[in-house]
A and B are shown apart, each in its own frame.
Chain A
Amino acid sequence: MIYLELLWTFFKIGLFTFGGGYAMLPLIQEEVISHGWMTDEQIIDFIAVSESTPGPFAINIATYIGTEMGNGFWGGLLGAFCATLGVVLPSFIIILIVAKCFEKFKTNKIISGCMTGLKPAVIGLIASAVVSMAHTVFFPSGVSFDVFKELQFYILAAIALVMAFLAIKKVHPILIICISAVIGIGVGYGLGL
């Protein structure tokens, strides 16, 4: 049953994502692609959609996949509801527990100990997501040396590096997406793709 599967999968994603934002990207890639719910490219496109609409990435992608997987209008709505509920539920339950015994939680050595390992792990995980995204975008037909002969590869790599630099310089993500889109349109028509 697709609705239960959505609920369970996004519950797992919600439960094991520490640090918010793109911390959940590697887990989402793994779960969503293995279910065949989205392709690598669709996930990258959806990051752009999520950056340009309000709300956290986790909620947005849960709602999106739920809508796509449900059957018809009401099925889509139910799917979106199940996936979103799944991704929210773990935080909701855990925060309720923490709010009740806050002082104990703050000084708990086991939790803070786990966190000293989780924080750097998340950085490594997101870095691995960058690699898999780069693979999808820069080497769409598999890794081979032929790619290095194509102008498109160098333009896309340049866009990624320049946009990373602009983002670090605090340029707003939506502006970065717009600039990238305009360059993409120019390149698409210019190279006649």
Chain B
Amino acid sequence: MNKAKKILKLFLAFLKIGGFTFGGGYAMIPLIQKEAVEKQGWVTDEDILEILAIAESTPGPIAINSATFIGYKTAGVLGSAAATFGVVLPSFVIISIIARVLTEFSHIDVVRYAFLGIRAGVIGLVIKAVYTMFRKVKKNAMAYVVMLLAFVCVAIFDIHVLIVIASCAVIGLIYSLTLGRKEQGV
């Protein structure tokens, strides 16, 4: 297959992935598997697992990370640009339209009341996000200390989030190079 065709296919596949993943994040993994592994054979299932591992240790949304990675593996830098553009485009178009009408509707009583309930419901959704992440994370003394420290620094002392993120990364690094080594038996 020539390169231009490959790049177009990457764009279209990720356009579909971007357009049909609600809520983002891990919700899009099955769709990526279907498009990039089963249909096109661009990457393997093992690649997907590696992409997930990378996505977790690099910044940014999983959607962008996997689009860039698969695009690059398949067709180089242009491929990664095409895939990333494709995955972003549906959100971009839909939200651009919504942004222009959302404020118009926000003063109607029904909409106002609906959002009263929705705001409380959204808190429920974010509580669930905390719960699932808490279940997944490796738990040891350091993890509990960092969790509590990050929470207290931001919620109570109002310290800037970036400072907290950077400090916690340093704590993790020092821990894994000293105490954590014994734990892992290295």
Contact = CB atoms under 8 A, between A and B. Distances in A.
Interface of A: 12, 14-22, 25-27, 30, 41, 44-45, 47-60, 63-64, 67-68, 76-77, 80, 84, 87-88, 90-92, 94-96, 98-99, 102, 105-106, 109-134, 136-137, 156-157, 159-168, 173-174, 176-177, 179-185, 187-189, 193
Contacts of A105: 54
| Chain A contact residues, majority secondary structure | helix
Contact of B23 (A15, A51, A119): A51
Contact of A131 (B88, B98, B121, B155): B155
11 contacts: A30-B160, A90-B60, A92-B84, A110-B173, A116-B176, A120-B150, A124-B147, A125-B151, A131-B155, A133-B126, A181-B118
A63 B96 contact: yes
4 closest Cβ pairs, A-B complex: A117-B172, A184-B117, A188-B113, A91-B60
B37 interface: no
Contact of B60 (A58, A99, A188): A58
A132 B158 CA distance: 11
A15 B50 CA distance: 21
B72 A160 contact: no
B143 A92 contact: no
Interface in B73-91: 73, 77, 80-81, 84, 87-88, 90-91
B124 interface: yes
Contact of A45 (B73, B118, B133, B160): B118
Interface in B54-104: 54-65, 68-69, 72-73, 77, 80-81, 84, 87-88, 90-92, 94-96, 98-100, 102-103
B150 A124 contact: yes
A130 B123 CA distance: 6
B94 A54 contact: yes
| Chain B contact residues, majority secondary structure | helix
A107 B123 CA distance: 38
Interface in B132-186: 132-134, 137-138, 142-144, 146-152, 154-155, 160-162, 164-165, 168-177, 180
B120 A163 contact: yes
Nearest to B99: A67
Contact of B58 (A55, A95, A120, A164): A95
Interface of B: 18-26, 50, 53-65, 68-69, 72-73, 77, 80-81, 84, 87-88, 90-92, 94-96, 98-100, 102-103, 109-110, 112-134, 137-138, 142-144, 146-152, 154-155, 160-162, 164-165, 168-177, 180
B124 A162 contact: yes
B150 to A, nearest CB: 3
Contacts of A163: 120-121, 123-125
A136 B128 CA distance: 19
A22 B129 contact: yes
